[in-house]
Amino acid sequence: METIFTERHKLRNSKTELHGGEFVEPFERPSRAEYIIGRVRDVGLGSISEPDDFGLDPIRAIHDKGFIDFLQVAWDEWQSEGFKGEALPTVWPARRMTQRIPTHIEGRLGYYALACETTISDGTWEASFASAQVALTGAQRLNDGAKAVFSLCRPPGHHAAIDMYGGYCFINNAAVAAQHFLDTGSKRVAILDVDFHHGNGTQDIFYERDDVLFISLHGDPLEAFPHFLGHADEMGIGVGKGYTVNYPMPPGTDFPTWRAALIKALAKIAEYAPDVLIISLGVDTFETDPISFFKLKSDDFTTYGADIGSLHLPTLFVMEGGYDIAEIGVNTVNVLQGFESVS
């Protein structure tokens, strides 16, 4: 399986995350991608290629124009205010307040952020743009005939909504790839999100559409980030009704329970018969992940990779989360090798 990867991910190297009332080194850090690409090389998964440049249009096809404009200038505007730390919001358009977009950077951060653990720092936009190109290049490889491709995206994307960033995500890489497939001939795309956290951004983007089936397995939002989306009764609206499927699961969920939900999800995908399948691949379901509460072991990733492979669909793996960094390479590549073992 070919891997698409660029060293430009290192441009996203923020120094602070707000966690437990303290500023800590971000869980989402450059070494994550280094461990993954190292494992890809160690096992000889396949060739490793730089992304092509598809420009801004595929990103604007998914995200709000004002939001993308904001991401490009946020760091410069923040700096020009003379602030010493990295950019993060302190106020939101909460219940019964207006949704008018402020002019001051402090207000615009609050308008476009869905959470404040994730700072904007120097290079954030450049790395996010490159990450989207990694996803787009993987998608184009499938269009060109590849059966499966691994887009090693960083920063991740599945929390990024139409006009909101947060949860370490700025551009929704999986959604951008899905739209690229639709714009180049696919009629139906399925996105299966196996990251520990609900893919609220992807759900938001496709919630009123029937050309993308979105299924997410994740920690119950009553107990886990992003806390305000991902319940089982969210199923899409309008023509999109039935094209969003959520499987929230409680703290301590083990692999047999998680896999039972996966098998249901795969049956729905098989019934939908998509032209292509995108996997939002987060491995923060691992038992020792520091910010999650599922109990998957390393071998379980191989097993479920094979489960996904048994669908025999053209498949694009898009990297999302995973924060037990020492094991992230093994767990991620286990999924890919499991997939290949049956294809």
CB of 284 to Zn ion, least distance (A): 4
Active site residue 104: no
Q: Which is nearer to Zn ion, 197 or 295 (CB)?
A: 197
According to CB under 5 A, which one of 199, 321, 329, 338 is a site residue for Zn ion? 321
Q: Closer to Zn ion at the Cβ: 75 or 225?
A: 225
Which residue is closest to Zn ion by CB?
321
Annotate 269-281 with b (16+ C-beta within 10 A) or e (fewer).
beebebebbbbbb
On the 0-12 / 13-18 / 19+ scale of CB atoms within 10 A, 252 is exposed
Name the one range near Zn ion by CB under 5 A: 73-81, 168-176, 236-244, 315-323.
Answer: 315-323
C-alpha torsion sign, points 323, 278, 263, 212 = positive
Distance CA 291, CA 180 (A): 32
Q: At what angle do helices 65-80 and 105-112 cross, to 10 degrees?
A: 140
How many residues lie near Zn ion (CB under 5 A)?
A: 6
Q: Give strand pairing partners of 199.
A: none
Site residues for Zn ion, 200-239, by CB under 5 A, read none
Interface with Zn ion, residue 289, by CB under 5 A: no
* Active-site residue identified among 159, 197, 198, 218: 159
CA 180 to chain centre: 16
Report 268-287 residues binding Zn ion (CB under 5 A): 282, 284
Which positions from 176 through 195 interact with Zn ion, judged by CB under 5 A? Answer: 195
From 8, 141, 197, 295, residue interacting with Zn ion (rule: CB under 5 A)? 197
For 193-235, the DSSP string reads E-SSS--HHHHHHHTT-SSEEEEEEEE-TTTSTT-SS--TT--
Compare residues 110 and 321 and give the one whose CB is closer to Zn ion. Answer: 321
Report, as residue numbers or ranges, the catalytic residues.
159
Contacts with Zn ion, residue ranges (CB under 5 A): 195-197, 282, 284, 321
